[in-house]
């Protein structure tokens, strides 16, 4: 495995101007190396403009299938969205519904139609596609991943997040919400075990581990220092949700998120010094896929 390399990601690019500005600041003034674009987000155009002005920032697709809006017209995916094109807000209920829909050919076709619509919308930005991940990690859904794999050659998907994180380590750091974290750990461990060999067979790269899911909304300076000091060899990813303020469009889904604390951590001189002392190399999926 060799040297320690760390991908530092900012999710929800395009959701709101506050998110976009926080992500670009975390990149320009801090350690953030990449971000993931919500192509149907309220501030997607603003995000694309910032990304074009910041070519050192690697940008991927943040696939949205819950808590957001569809890219395909609602009339073409009526089983997935309400009449105004909005997905459901509850991720577990949405995941179960997609599993049920995919049993029927019409449901599978609608799901594939929406996934491709989001990839096509990203392609129209003319930004190089660094990677694909998903809002609420929905890209690893057993009915979604095969669609992404089938579309990978056409849209140039070369890297994808596989959410695999040590539950024991996460609970040692912060034992709160243990039941929720245990549920997440069991579900995503199973999804990662299923996804990893399929991605490898398709020539799609991923990191060896991912941090941030169990600490979501609280990837602050203390956590980042601890993470870097205990980082194992190989390629790791940590993802956060920095923003310059609480975006109204995301508020009901991220009530306890410390966006300012995450932005402060990602731009912290202490964190940067710890990275240098530990000999950790910052990288991105774009660089990983190009190697």
How far apart CA 214 and CA 32 sit, in angstroms, is 19
What's the structural domain count of the chain? 1
pLDDT at residue number 164: 87
Asked if pLDDT for residue 1 goes beyond 50, the answer is no
pLDDT at residue number 74: 97
pLDDT at residue number 194: 95
How far apart CA 182 and CA 170 sit, in angstroms, is 10
Segment 273-279 mean pLDDT: 98
Asked if pLDDT for residue 2 goes beyond 70, the answer is no
Segment 120-147 mean pLDDT: 96
Length of the chain: 291
Q: How many helices (H) and strands (E) does the chain have?
A: 11, 7
Which strand (E) or helix (H) includes residue 242? none
Signed CA dihedral, 70, 157, 181, 185: sign only: positive
In sequence order, the 6+-apart residues with CB closer than 8 A to the CB of 64 are: 38, 39, 40, 41, 70, 87, 118, 134, 135, 138
Across 40-49, 184-193, 198-207, least confident range = 184-193
The answer to whether 77 and 114 have CB atoms below 8 angstroms apart is: yes
Asked if pLDDT for residue 157 goes beyond 90, the answer is yes
Q: How confident is the model at residue 255 (pLDDT cuts 50, 70, 90)?
A: confident
In sequence order, the 6+-apart residues with CB closer than 8 A to the CB of 124 are: none
In percent, the amount of the chain with pLDDT more than 70 equals 99
Q: How confident is the model at residue 95 (pLDDT cuts 50, 70, 90)?
A: confident
Asked if pLDDT for residue 191 goes beyond 90, the answer is yes
Phi/psi-derived region of residue 2, left when phi > 0, alpha when psi is between -120 and 50, beta in every other case: left
Domain around 276: 4-290
- Write down the mean pLDDT value for the chain: 94
pLDDT at residue number 102: 76
pLDDT at residue number 115: 98
pLDDT at residue number 5: 98
Segment 219-243 mean pLDDT: 97
Return the CATH number at 73: 3.20.20.370
* Dihedral, CA of residue 230, residue 35, residue 253 and residue 211, to nearest 10: -20
- For 6-64, the pLDDT digits (tens) are 999 999 999 999 999 999 999 999 999 999 999 999 999 999 999 999 999 999 999 99
């Amino acid at each position: 495995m060799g040297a320690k390399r760390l991908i530092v990601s900012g999710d929800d690019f395009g959701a709101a101007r506050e998110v976009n500005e926080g992500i670009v600041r975390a990149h320009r003034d801090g350690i953030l190396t990449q971000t993931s674009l919500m192509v149907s987000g309220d501030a997607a155009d603003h995000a694309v403009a910032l990304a074009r002005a910041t070519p050192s920032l690697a940008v991927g697709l943040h696939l949205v299938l819950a808590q957001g809006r569809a890219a395909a017209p609602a009339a073409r995916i009526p089983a997935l969205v309400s009449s105004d094109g909005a997905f459901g807000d509850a991720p577990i209920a949405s995941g179960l519904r997609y599993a049920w829909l995919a049993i029927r050919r019409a449901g599978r076709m609608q799901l594939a139609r929406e996934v491709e619509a989001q990839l096509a919308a990203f392609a129209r930005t003319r930004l190089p596609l660094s990677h694909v991940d998903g809002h609420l990690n929905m890209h690893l859904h057993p009915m979604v991943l095969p669609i992404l794999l089938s579309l990978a050659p056409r849209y140039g998907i070369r890297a994808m997040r596989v959410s695999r994180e040590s539950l024991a380590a996460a609970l040692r750091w912060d034992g709160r919400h243990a039941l929720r974290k245990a549920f997440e750990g069991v579900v995503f461990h199973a999804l990662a075990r299923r996804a990893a060999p399929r991605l490898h067979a398709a020539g799609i790269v991923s990191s060896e581990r991912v941090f941030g899911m169990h600490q979501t909304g609280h990837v602050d300076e203390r956590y980042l220092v601890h993470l870097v000091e205990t980082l194992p060899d190989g390629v790791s990813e940590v993802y956060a949700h920095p923003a310059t303020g609480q975006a109204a469009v995301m508020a009901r889904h991220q009530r306890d998120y410390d966006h300012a604390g995450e932005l402060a951590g990602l731009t912290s001189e202490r964190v940067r010094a710890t990275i240098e002392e530990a000999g950790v190399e910052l990288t991105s999926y774009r660089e990983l896929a190009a190697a």
